[in-house]
Amino acid sequence: MVILFGMPLVQVLLFGFAITNEIRDAKVSVVDPTPDAVTHALRNKLFASGFFIESEILNSQEEIAENFRKGESKMVVIFENNFSGKMERGEHPTVQLIADASDPNTASMLVNYANGIISEFNREQRAASGIPLIIAEPRMIYNPALKGVYMFVPGIITILLMLVSAMMTSISIAREKELGTMEVLLVSPLRPFNIIAGKVIPYVLLSFINAISILLLSYYVFGVPVKGSVLLLLAESILFIILALSLGIFISTIANNQQTAMMLSMFAMMLPTILLSGFIFPIENMPEVLQWLSLAMPPRWFIQIIKSIMLKGSGISYFWKETLILTFMAMIFIVASIRKFKIRLA
């Protein structure tokens, strides 16, 4: 009953709040080698718009690369050397806008917003003193062609692994309960661990095969690059599969029949996974409550990890935190489901 009537409300609220394509408070870093009045004015204008918040001041090309790999900013604004000097001399100083296009929609929107602000700044400057234009140079990194497939492949991998792993295990264990076979298994000398392991191992294999086939397909058919280590990618996938499986087992310890297991996995997991993981709707745009909620979504972390490996080519040092969070979550679910697994009926 709670599921029947509560879930639609939750879904509507989620959709209503999460589906906003506007961008607010995107993290933007700045490179400004020779700060002066003009660059300050432009920076103030950018950060006063409400679209961006200032993340860091960077100094070198290496720092920019590092910053993107860590995912610390969505866009970096680079002012040319001797900015106001060039303006006074009547040259056209450039502002480079480098956006992280591993999320192409957000990247192009960020660049558009920034462009708009810069041209408005130009108009104001010209009206005041007739000084010539500042030129904005947008650049997309990681996905220069802004291919949507770059964004959805990591998301699809995540969602499919979640679907196959969590839903299938929870349903298959609930099915045993429904058909009464669990009753016979319980009376046998089998330990809970054996029963669970027996149910889970086939799905680890199945999910792993799934993950590999999606990766192959996206590499050969859609040309999504795998810049980082394939081995690392597979290892992280296994970690995520185990997490999803333990979540599935946990659901099955709560659900007594296949239908409940299905409902729980579909509504309680799948939709929040799609909505709150940052797969389709950027997390930065969500209301703060949902941003907090998204921290608890395992897929959020996994999507970040695979994006880093596939598109940015980063190593484990850039996402050990995410890996740790996933490991921790998996452990919580495993312990919870072993504790909740009933050695008896009812």
Partner 1 sequence: MATEVSIHCENLTKTYGSVTALAGISFKVSKGEIFGFIGPDGAGKTSLFRILATLLLPDNGTASVEGLDVVNDYKKLRHLLGYMPGRFSLYQDLSVAENLQFFAGIFKADINENYYLIRDIYEQIAPFARRRAGKLSGGMKQKLALCCALIHKPVVLILDEPTTGVDAISRQEFWEMLIRLKQEHITILVATPYMDEAVLCDRVALIQHGEIMAIDTPENITLAYPYQLFRIKSSNTLNTIRLMKEFEGILSAEMFGDTVHVSAEKGRINANAIIKYLSEKGMKVTAVSEADPGIEDCFIHLMKRSGVVSNKIKTP
The helix or strand, by DSSP H or E, that contains position 258, with its residue range, turns out to be: helix 258-263
Out of 41, 185, 268, 270, the residue judged to bind partner 1 by CB under 8 A: 185
Residue among 342, 301, 306 at smallest CA distance from 324:
301
Bridge partner residues of 97 (DSSP) = 77, 138
Minimum CB distance to partner 1, residue 202 (Å)? 14
Under rule CB under 8 A, residue 61 binds partner 1: no
Least Cβ distance, residue 180 to partner 1 (angstroms): 4
Nearest-approach distance from CB 169 to partner 1, in angstroms: 17
Tokens of 342: 């009933």
d(CA 62, CA 314): 14
Residue 187 near partner 1 by CB under 8 A: yes
Among 131, 186, 239, 280, binds partner 1 (CB under 8 A): 186
Buried b (16+ CB within 10 A) or exposed e, 203-228: bbeebbebbeebbeebeeeeebeeeb
**DSSP summary character for residue 6:** I
Q: What is the DSSP string of 117-155?
A: HHHHHHHHHHHHH---PPEEEEEEES-TT--HHHHHHHH
Nearer to partner 1, 317 or 344 (CB): 344
Is 179 a binding residue for partner 1 by CB under 8 A? The answer is yes
Total chain residues near partner 1 (CB under 8 A): 15
Q: Nearest distance from residue 203's CB to partner 1, in Å?
A: 16
Which residue number, 200 or 283, has a Cβ lying nearer to partner 1? Answer: 200
x/- site string to partner 1, residues 189 to 228, per CB under 8 A?
xx--------------------------------------
The distance of closest approach from Cβ of residue 173 to partner 1 in the complex, given in angstroms and rounded to an integer, is 14
12 in contact with partner 1 (CB under 8 A): no
Residue 25 binds partner 1 (CB under 8 A): no
Separation of CA 218 from chain center: 18
Pick between residue 74 and residue 177 the one whose CB is nearest to partner 1. Answer: 177
Q: How far lies 34's CA from each of 31, 55, 80, 82, 118, in Å?
A: 9, 19, 8, 6, 18
Binding site for partner 1 (CB under 8 A): 179-181, 183-190, 343-346
